[in-house]
A and B are shown apart, each in its own frame.
Chain A
Amino acid sequence: MRKRREELRVKREESFPTEVVLFPLYSTLCTPFLIVALILLAAGCDVTAPDRTDTYGFRLQPENVVFNWPLERRPVRYFAQAIGALPEYVRDGLTIWEAQLLYGEFEGVLTTDSAGADIRVVLEGGVPPVSPLISAPAVQACTGSTSATLASATKLAGPMLIQVRWFPGFTPADVVNCISRVTRHEIGHSLGLFQHSSNPADLMYGVPSVREPSTRDRSTVQVLYHTAANLTPADRP
């Protein structure tokens, strides 16, 4: 009986030698798997790009010209007056605007060299109170402006100037929230968003009450940076 079992075992091993088992194993495992995987990965799919039709105007009026920072000027240099947390707010503002663009269209950096800056940011009204930024309804405890001089119809004369002025009589939190928010708004202008949105939900609304760019802000700055500019920045000193 034992001998018979032994014979059967040997016969079974002889009928399934390793080589014979392994070849079908590779092809059985790998071929269908790879075919399915290739089809799944290579198959076309519906990649939907975002809708960017909801935008607002960005042309400088009444000249009706378009300005954006050309690629060769990256990174655009911002000088922020060392007062309060202004440099930090400028850095934050650059980061949030850069993040609206996917393809490296804009990059800004802080510089300590005011003479070599493309944009100068100053804070007026003295040293602001110290307070952390908080989530609170927007209070108009400050104002801001962005200005530039035209050297010609197609070229700026010098660096842009961003001025933010804060007002006394408000809580420290309201003041710093306002400075941060308005700095972000003005940086939006310095990118070339030369008009205001008509929607209060946008950061580029005339009197901004939000701190983050909206979808409309994002779509608008993306369209701006893919529109041919006919106004160029001043040469660097």
Chain B
Amino acid sequence: MIGLFGRSNSASAQTRIAIRAGATGSSALVRDSIIQAFSVRPEIGPSIGFGIETGLDTRYRVGVSLSTTWGHLRRYEAAGSAEVVPLSTWTPAVSLYRILFPSISAGATVGAVIYRADRRASNLFRRGSSPMPLVGLGVRAERPMTNGLRLSLSLQYDVHRFSTPALADAGFSGERPVHRLSASVGVSRGL
């Protein structure tokens, strides 16, 4: 990706900064069974993101972004749900988008998910967690606005594998694939 940036000097005029806001949902981080089966997953939470991207040529754009989502991690079982711990995630990522139609582009993302949770003793993040690599796919629709601004709607899917030292300590082995889906509305502006 660093190499690709190097080829983009001629397209510096197409460099844009963007801000996005939306919501993110996630599949279960943990499935367990103690007396009865339950799952632990983050609530659908708000998300915001910032990014900068530049055109590589007429069809491809590359960008870096940082997004965050926050909410509560909850335990879901047949009888209801209970909060485990407040949880936020940070996702630095590099994306490559291809313009499919004048206002529609699709692309791929590589990056990492960083979980930030209260390290109170009774939870699966009490010993922290390492950044977890992710890959993703996304589609984006853009519409020009006044003053060089562009309005965009994005739908992004990504996947990473989840485990924490506390889970390993407790006797869990392996890592669970975690799927996330986010939808956002954003505005970008040329530099």
Contacts and interface: CB of A to CB of B under 8 A. Distances in A.
Contact of A41 (B121, B123, B177): B177
Nearest to A74: B122
A98 B110 CA distance: 36
B166 A102 contact: yes
A48 B135 contact: no
A49 B173 CA distance: 7
B94 to A, nearest CB: 11
Nearest to B4: A26
A44 B31 CA distance: 13
Q: Which of A18, A103, A107 has the most CB of B within 10 A?
A: A103
Contacts of A99: 121-122, 126
Nearest to B134: A41
Contacts of B161: 41, 45
B54 to A, nearest CB: 14
B43 to A, nearest CB: 14
A142 to B, nearest CB: 25
A222 B35 CA distance: 9
Contact of B172 (A19, A47, A106): A47
A51 B35 CA distance: 12
B82 A41 contact: no
Interface in B16-71: 30-36, 40, 56-60
Interface string B125-159: 01000000111010000000000000000000001
A41 B170 contact: no
A153 interface: no
Interface stretch (A30-38, A143-151, A160-168, A199-207): A30-38
A225 B34 CA distance: 9
A42 B159 contact: yes
A225 B122 CA distance: 12
Contact of B60 (A26, A102, A104): A26
A212 interface: no
B174 A30 contact: no
Interface string A34-73: 1001100111111111111000000000000000000100
Contact of B177 (A30, A44, A103): A44
Interface in B106-132: 108, 110, 120-124, 126
A26 B96 CA distance: 9
Contacts of A222: 34
Contacts of B176: 45, 47
Interface in B169-184: 170-177, 179
B111 to A, nearest CB: 11
B108 A50 contact: no
Contacts of B108: 30, 34
B57 A19 contact: yes
B86 to A, nearest CB: 10
Nearest to B158: A41
B167 interface: yes
Contact of A98 (B122, B134, B179): B122
B117 to A, nearest CB: 10
B160 interface: yes
A95 B119 CA distance: 12
A222 to B, nearest CB: 5
Nearest to B60: A26
Given A26-B98, A45-B177, A102-B167, 5 more contacts: A18-B57, A23-B60, A49-B172, A71-B82, A98-B121
18 contacts: A18-B57, A22-B7, A34-B135, A41-B135, A41-B177, A44-B177, A45-B174, A47-B172, A48-B173, A50-B170, A50-B171, A98-B121, A103-B32, A103-B84, A104-B123, A105-B122, A106-B122, A223-B35
